[in-house]
Chains A and B, each alone.
Chain A
Amino acid sequence: MNDTQARIGRRAEGNRRVGRATAWTAAACTALATLFGVVFATGTTDAQSDTGTSTSTGSSTDGGDSLQAPDSAPEQGSGSAHTGSGGS
């Protein structure tokens, strides 16, 4: 093996080491980003569900975290009404 072949060999080994380091760095960054994403998302969910009070309902009447829309909008009615809705 002459000097030229030796230099080519060292350069190739250097490139492989740089490639492996880059791959490890990318993998580590991906893992950290995933971990951060989970933590961030959990924190966001906790913040959204935090009522700001020590209220602990646990009640079946709590009704969820949003006002419940109807299954369908009212339809135009015809005929006499069963009852009225208005100011009381």
Chain B
Amino acid sequence: MTHVVEFPVWGTTAVLAVTDHPVEAERLLRAVLDDVDQACNRFRADSELSRLPSGRAVPIGPVLAEALTVALRAARLTDGLVDPTVGGAIRALGYDRDFAAIVDGPLVPQRVPGWHRVLLDADRGEVLLPHGIEVDLGATAKALAADRAARAISVMVGCGVLVSLGGDVAVAGETPAGGWRVAIGDDHRTAVADPQTVVAVRRGGLATSSTTRRTWLRDGVPQHHIVDPRTGLAADVVWRTATVAAGTCVDANTAATAAIVLGHDAPEWLAARGLPARLVSAAGAVLAVGGWPADRERQAA
């Protein structure tokens, strides 16, 4: 038997499924989320990330150090396709406040400074952000939180666990019969009730990046939240969703985001890295890559 708990977090939904000890597991999940929120939430004025000064090296806590390490690794392994210094560009596109409060306005693209300019010494727990760099950890921090929580619950509570944060899924420990079943759709909130397909995962992570959610208008032009660091603009919509399975949720999320930015080059890029993926084109055609199961697929609406 599995126990499932669901609650809102970071403008999206957290889902916790465990094979046992649901109360202890939820307490641990909330503790991990609080830690990551206090360190990495750019919408919180009192978060450690928001209070980072520019132009001088400053000490940082272990959670922010880990989040920055993970974000810079994602940038390095994607040749900058997933870049934490897109904060200014995202704000310039209008995503400068909690999503529900965004209003239309002029579109003034901003160049992405580049992840190489963030100087992190994780061993000493210090970071130096040059002037003019705004870090956005949104692409990796949520997935990192899912990985951390799943790992902690599995080890400390001693049960099988699935943690999903807005559709970024991490699993650890024993699995229920048939694996942890994840419904895939355009919207993680409606995917269970109206799945385009259902897959079973037993280890690691799975994540979906989408150009159909968190969209808004700027200068009357539709925008979405995945910025192409090469242009500073919202990535061209070749894929409406990219779902990737990987050894961790962070790597799944990193690859899914890179796939959206890569557009037509994504299938080859994913296959070269042995990453199973499900890509849905803007027109709704489904493309399975790298061993993703194609049976019983149906076309996305």
Contact = CB atoms under 8 A, between A and B. Distances in A.
A76 B213 contact: no
Contacts of B203: 70-71
A68 B246 contact: yes
A78 B67 CA distance: 35
Interface size class of B (residues with CB under 8 A): 35 or more
Interface size class of A (residues with CB under 8 A): 35 or more
A4 interface: no
Interface in B191-223: 191-192, 195, 197-204, 206-214
A67 B275 contact: yes
Contacts of A69: 246-247, 273-276
B167 A88 contact: yes
Contact of B250 (A63, A65, A81): A63
A51 interface: yes
- Main secondary structure, interface of B, reads mixed
Contact of A84 (B116, B120, B184): B184
A81 B183 contact: yes
Contacts of A57: 69, 72-73, 120, 122-123
A78 B247 contact: no
B122 A58 contact: yes
A5 interface: no
B178 A79 contact: yes
B65 A80 contact: no
B243 A85 contact: yes
Contacts of B77: 65-67
Interface string A44-80: 0000000111111111011101111111111111111
A60 B179 CA distance: 28
Interface string A24-52: 00000000000000000000000000011
Interface of B: 2, 4, 12-13, 15, 17, 65-66, 69-70, 72-73, 76-77, 115-124, 144, 162, 164, 166-169, 178-192, 195, 197-204, 206-214, 241, 243, 245-248, 250-251, 254-255, 273-276, 290-293, 295-296
Given A57-B122, A83-B183, 4 more contacts: A56-B124, A63-B70, A73-B245, A87-B187
